[in-house]
Amino acid sequence: MASKVLVVDDSAFMRNLLKQLLEGEHEVVGEAENGVEAVELYRELEPDVVTMDVVMPIRNGIEATSEIKSLDAGASVIMCTSVGQEEKMREAVEAGADGYITKPFQKPNVLQAIADVIQAEA
Amino acid sequence: MNLDVRSLRTFSRLAHSGAEKAAGSLTTLAGIDTYVNVTKVELGTKADVENEFAERDLVSVHIGFSGGLDGHTVLAFSPESAERLVDALMPGINATDAEGELAESSLKEVANIMLGGFIDGWADYLDTTVDITTPTYVDDENDGPLDHVDAEGFENGGDDEHVLVFRNQLEAADNAIEFDLYMVPTASSIGTIVEASGEDGALPVESFAAFSEMINDGANQASEDITAMTGIDTTVEVSRLSFVPIEGVPMSLTDAVRRGVVLEFSGTPSGYIAILFDEPSAENIASSLLPGMEGDEAMRQSAIQEIGNITTSGFLDGWANALETTIDISPPKHVHDIGSAIIDPLATDLAQSQEYAFLIDSTIRTDDDEFTCDIYALPDETELRKALRKLSPAA
């Protein structure tokens, strides 16, 4: 079943790439380019899943995830990061991330990560 | 054998002083004003050094030395610079002419005088006697550029063996002659030099070699990430750790226009990283990531920023995991300028707290030259020392 996805990344290229990967599978309902916009759009759009970049200006993805989770404990957030360090992943989990995908993205991995968090929520 | 930053500074100053003496010899011999642009102490593998020679199609003259110090020195020119130098020495003689025995002889004599002067400086510092061999001329028709730098000049002689190379870039500006003066001491001779310069806070040389391996692993990961993202097969051509006076860092890049990203990283170590492409490479990368979107310059810039971001992460992740630490990176900043101008502000910032820099450079390229990506990392010297200590076998 198609889910409503909020794509958060400071790179227009990566937002565009994620939209292309999700096309026909899920509905991208909004795009944010920093953590502040992400929280605002989450409130407004109430997506099923958020794909969240980690390193962003203004507010990073870990802080934004923490805030989204404090607004809605049931929010599903997937961290999208090229930072594969274990410590960074632990920070993301502590902030409430439900899963992560590593850049460069592979379509099957992205779809599987979304399926996993939707299934866990159900 | 242990190395410390004080030793590296001494090495660098000695090598620079020796190179200035060599430059002075050429000025006296040929009346050509010659300057030392930058002196680096590089840690790499024999294969890396050979790759650089092969890539630049260098003409070189080798001289061995033995006695109080053992190893090899090499004076290397591009064929064009060799021709210009011979022309300055003996107008009308062609350096690359098959019948140019006189030209070859003149280059050997230049090397003899310059490299002899260079080695004399080291012998004086160590208060010892060093003998030099007769010069050997090597051009691209010979088997390998470092064939004459045999097992004596490298720890075990294998291609993967790490070697400490003293490299000086010299220039005779008015004559557009550029050349490099290399010195490759044996491992035991490095020990002799270290002993003479003191060992305060010294680290085993294995720490530097382990870090060099880490750089190579990082570059390979970055290469894999670029391939995964673009679908273009890439390989790491060279990875190197250099110790260089901070003012010499910008001179390590040419004045060619580069495009890419600069990022700041923080943790242990902290510092700056630049991922740079020449302009055709940047265009090819953007086109491979965004087929059919040639007109959307903003999106193409975003694509280059993102590949810089991913390349940086690939490069630094291995470091963080090997050092059991976290390295945070800033969002990528797009840059488009001549290479030295891109690096200059990064070096200027580090210059507030350090006189010398560890410069890490790696080159990733495709087999068909579709693109070349240069990675330059400038870690904070104090932070890198902490990192190296963690890599010490005793740690």
pLDDT in tens, B271-289: 999 999 999 999 988 888 8
> Do residue B331 and residue A16 have CB atoms under 8 angstroms apart?
no
CATH superfamily of B204-391: CheC-like (3.40.1550.10)
Separation of alpha carbons B309 and A15, rounded Å: 14
CB contact under 8 A, B302 and A55: no
Compute the distance between CA of residue B66 and CA of residue B184 in angstroms, rounded to an integer. 12
Torsion of CA B245, B247, B252, B253, to 10 degrees: 160
Token pair, residue B55, equals: 């890539």
Q: Is the pLDDT score of B75 beyond 80?
A: yes
Q: B188: helix, coil or strand?
A: helix
Average pLDDT estimate for A43-57: 93
From chain B, the residues in CB contact with A63 under 8 A are none
Q: Do A11 and B306 touch (CB under 8 A)?
A: yes
- What CATH number has the domain bearing residue A108? 3.40.50.2300
Chain A positions in Cβ-Cβ contact with residue B273 (cut-off 8 Å): none
* Model confidence band, residue B151 (pLDDT cutoffs 50, 70, 90): very low
**B310 to A82: CB separation less than 8 angstroms, yes or no:** yes
Which pLDDT value is given to residue A6? 98
Tell me the mean pLDDT in the region B336-364. 90
With contacts defined as CB-CB under 8 Å, which chain B residues touch A82? 225, 309-310, 312-314
Q: What is the mean pLDDT of residues B26-37?
A: 79
Q: Residues B212, B4: contact at Cβ < 8 Å?
A: no
Lowest mean pLDDT among A111-115, B172-176, B252-256: B172-176
Answer yes or no: do A82 and B225 touch at CB < 8 A: yes
Length of chain B as a residue count: 395
By residue range, what is the domain housing residue A91?
4-121
Contact A14/B at CB under 8 A? yes
Neighbours of B68 (CB within 10 A): 16
Two tokens at B143?
């088997």
Number of domains in chain A: 1
Q: What percent of chain B has pLDDT over 70?
A: 83
Question: Is A88 an interface residue toward B (CB < 8 Å)?
Answer: yes
Chosen for mutation from A8, A9, A11, A54 (greatest number of chain B CBs closer than 10 Å) is: A11
Contacts of A103 in chain B (CB under 8 A): 225, 229, 306, 309-310, 313
- Indicate the pLDDT class of residue B393, thresholds 50, 70 and 90: low
- B150 burial (CB, 10 Å; 0-12 / 13-18 / 19+) is exposed
Q: Where are the domains of chain B?
A: 2-197, 204-391
Is A103 in Cβ contact with B313 (below 8 Å)? yes
> What confidence tier does B155 reach under pLDDT thresholds 50, 70, 90?
very low
Q: What is the pLDDT of residue B176?
A: 78
**Chain A hits for B287, Cβ within 8 Å:** none
Q: Going by C-beta distance under 8 Å and a sequence separation of 6 or more, which residues neighbour residue B168? A: B15, B16, B18, B19, B22, B36, B38, B39, B40, B180, B181, B182
What's the one-letter identity of residue B272? Y
Distance CA B221, CA B318 (A): 8
Collapse the DSSP code of B193 into the 3-class scheme (helix H, G, I; strand E, B; otherwise coil) and give the result: helix
Contacts of A85 in chain B (CB under 8 A): 317, 320-321, 326-327
Quick one: residue B318, left, alpha or beta (phi over 0 = left, psi -120 to 50 = alpha)? alpha
pTM of the model: 0.78
- Tens of pLDDT, residue by residue over B285-339, are 888 888 888 888 999 999 999 989 888 988 888 788 778 888 888 889 999 999 9
Helix (H) or strand (E) holding B208: helix B205-230
Per-residue pLDDT of B198-240, as tens digits, reads 655 566 666 777 777 788 788 888 888 888 888 888 888 777 7
- Residue A11 contacts B, CB cutoff 8 Å: yes
Task: State the pLDDT at residue B139.
Answer: 67
Q: Does A87 touch chain B (CB under 8 A)?
A: yes
3-class state of residue B243 by DSSP: strand
> Which of the residues B287, B313, B329 would you substitute to probe the A interface, choosing the one with the greatest number of A C-beta atoms within 10 Å?
B313
Res A9 pLDDT > 90:
yes
Query: Who has greater pLDDT, B297 or B390?
Result: B297
Domain B2-197 has CATH 3.40.1550.10: yes
CA distance A122 to chain B (A): 33
Residue B310: list chain A partners with CB under 8 A: 82, 103-104
CB–CB contact A55 B298 (8 Å): no
**What residue in A sits closest to B326 (Cα-Cα)?**
A87
What pLDDT digit, counting tens, does each position of A25-36 carry?
Answer: 999 999 999 999
CB atoms B229 and A86 under 8 Å: no
Q: Which of B356, B351, B346, B354 is nearest to B376 (CA)?
A: B346
**Which of A82, A87, A110 best tests the B interface by mutation, with the highest count of B CBs <10 A?**
A82
Interface predicted TM-score of the whole assembly (ipTM), two decimals:
0.74
Whole-number average pLDDT of chain A: 90
CB contact under 8 A, A106 and B289: no
The pLDDT value recorded for residue B56 is 67
pLDDT bin (cut points 50, 70, 90) of residue A93 is confident
Cβ distance B289 to A86 less than 8 Å, yes or no, reads no
Helix (H) / strand (E) element for A87: namely: helix A86-94
Are B305 and A85 within 8 A, CB to CB?
no
Q: Is pLDDT above 60 for B99? A: no
Angle, alpha carbons A95-A53-B285 (nearest 5°) = 160
Judged by CB atoms closer than 8 Å, whether chains meet at B310 and A11 is answered as no
